[in-house]
Structure formats: C-alpha cells, structure tokens
Structure 1
Amino acid sequence: MKTKLWVGGILLLFVLYIAMSFTQAMRFMRTGEPIAIAIGVAVFVIPALGVWILIREILFGLRTEKMGKILAELGELPEDLPRMPSGRFVREAADADFPIHKQDVEAHPESWKSWYRLALAYDASGDRKRARASMRTAVNFFVAEKNASTTSK
C-alpha cells in the first residue's frame, strides 16, 4: 500500500511537470522563430516519450500484480525459498530451485504461468535483467490469452 501511495504521488508530480512542459512547448512554438519552434517540438516530444514509458511501466506493474494474485489463488506460486537475515534468498537454494522452472518453461513455452515462475526464479537467483525479460514474456502471453478468451466469447 505504501508503494502505491509513492507511485501515486510521483505520478501526480509527473502530470504537473508534463502540463508545465507542454505549456512551455506551446509558447516556444507560437513565436514563429525556427529555432524556438525546434526547441518547442523537443520540449513537447521528450516529455511525451516519458509519458509513454510511464504508462508502459504502470501497465507492466498492474499486470504482474494481477498474474501473481491469480497464481496465488490457484496455489501455483513456487514455494518460498529460505532467506538470509538481510531478506535476500539463499543463493544455493535459489540456484537449486531454478532448473525446475526452466524445465517447466521448456515443457510449456507459451504458458504465462511458467514464464512468471521462471521470472521469480531468475529474481531469486539475483539475475534481475533476465527476470524482467521473462516477466515481460509472461505478460505478453497473459495479455494474448486474455484477448483470445475475450474474442471467443
């Protein structure tokens, strides 16, 4: 809950920043000077790119949260691994658990559930880059499955 409040606060500040940036961009573009117009376009495009990235990341977070809840309700989340006092997973336990999830993905390459569990295994092993890539694959399969079930109704 605390994280969602922080995200909401940052999102509010970002919306304020975007509104101010777009106002300044319009001021630059209305001058009629070629250089000012170019600056105005840049001031408009760069925050617009930021908006796109922000929306993409928020959707990613919402979808991964939803997938986690579905797996928890089905009892299909992986067993919790032992942790060190710092809260990190014991590396040996994570490395021993990893092949199970890798084989699951190899057996079910289009299952978002398998990819989700593999992402958790990568994260537990400390490989954040591959964890995020695997979670993106899980999200893509989840959205495709959701769209297919919506279309078939």
Structure 2
Amino acid sequence: MRAKITYAVTAAVLVVYFVLAGGRGVVLIRHGTPLTVAFGVAVLVIPLIGVWFLWKNTQFVRRANRLAAELEAEGGLPVDELVRTAGGRIDRDSADEVFARRKAETEDSPDDWRCWFRLAVAYHDARDTPRARRAMQRAIALHAGRPAAG
C-alpha cells in the first residue's frame, strides 16, 4: 500500500510540474519572437516526454499488478526466500541459489509467464531493477499472448 501511495504522490507531483512547464512553454511561444518561440517549443518537449514516460510506466505497473493478483488467486505468488544479514543486506549465496532455481524454472518453461514473474520478483528482492523490469516485461508479454523479445 505504501508503494501505491508513493507512486500516486510522485505521479501527481510530476503532473503539476508538467502543467507548470507546459504553461511556461506556451507563454514563451505566445511572446512571438523567434528566440522565445524556439525556447517555448523546447520547453514543451520536456513535459511531452515526461507524460509519455509516466503513461508507459503506469501501464507497466498496472499490468504487473494484474499478473500479481492473478498469481495470488492461483496460490502461486513467490515467497521471499533470500537470506538477509542483521543489517538487512541480502546474503549473496542465498541470492545465487534462488536465482539459479528461478532461472532453471524459466529455462524449463520459457513460455510460462508465471516463471518470468517469479524471476522478476527474485531480481526485485535483490534490488536488481533493470533485470527485474525486463523479466516482468517478458511475463506481461507472455501473459498477453505476444511473443516476448530476447
């Protein structure tokens, strides 16, 4: 729940920023000189890219949450098996063992979105965000019946 609130607050702050920046871009364009029009267009590009990024990220989160809900209903959500030190750091040996099992699972069933979801969770638990995101994107694509890249 905390993550959802944090995401919503961050998205709201970004939207406010996009509106403010976009407003400044429009003011610059309305000023009418070639320099202010050029700056205005440049200022408008940032909010447009930001809105696109926020939209794509929101779609990703919603799709991943749908997969999590479906897997939970099936009783197949992965359990955090990673051993942590007293300070909260993940024990590397435990992480290697979990990853080996999850990778073997995905190699045995490369077209099963559930395996890719569990691998993504293992990467996320180990704070390997790029790999977690790629594995989750693959799980989403497989669940949707689309061929998964790479």
Is the structural similarity TM-score above 0.5? Answer: yes
Mark the runs of 5 or more structure 1 residues left unpaired by the alignment: 148-153
1:25 and 2:25 correspond: yes
Match of 2:34 in 1: 34
The amino acid across from 1:36 in the alignment is T
Q: Which amino acid aligns with 2:100?
A: P
The answer on whether the counterparts of 1:27 and 1:40 sit within 8 Å (CA) in structure 2 is yes
Q: State the identity as a percent.
A: 34
Instruction: Give 3-state SS (helix, strand or coil) of 1:83's partner.
Output: coil
Q: Tell me, which stretches of 5 or more residues in structure 2 are unaligned?
A: none
CA distance in 2, matches of 1:123, 1:10: 20
Aligned ranges for residues 4-153 of structure 1 at < 5 Å? 4-81=4-81, 82-142=83-143, 144-145=144-145
Count matched residues. Answer: 145
Secondary structure, counterpart of 1:109 in structure 2 = coil
State whether residues 80 and 125 of structure 2, in contact with CA within 8 Å, keep that contact through their aligned partners in structure 1. Answer: no
Q: TM-score scaled by structure 1? A: 0.80
What code does the residue aligned with 1:123 have?
H
Structure 1 position 10, deviation (Å) = 2.4
Between 1:38-47 and 1:131-140, the stretch displaced more is: 131-140
Bigger Cα displacement from structure 2, 64-73 vs 34-43: 64-73
| C-alpha distance in 1 between matches for 2:89 and 2:118 | 17
Q: Secondary structure at the match of 2:60?
A: helix
**Contact conserved, 1:108 with 1:114, CA < 8 A, in 2?**
yes
User: In the alignment, is the contact (CA less than 8 A) between 1:94 and 1:124 conserved in 2?
Assistant: no
**Residue in structure 2 matched with residue 150 of structure 1 by the alignment:** none
CA RMSD of aligned residues (A): 2.2
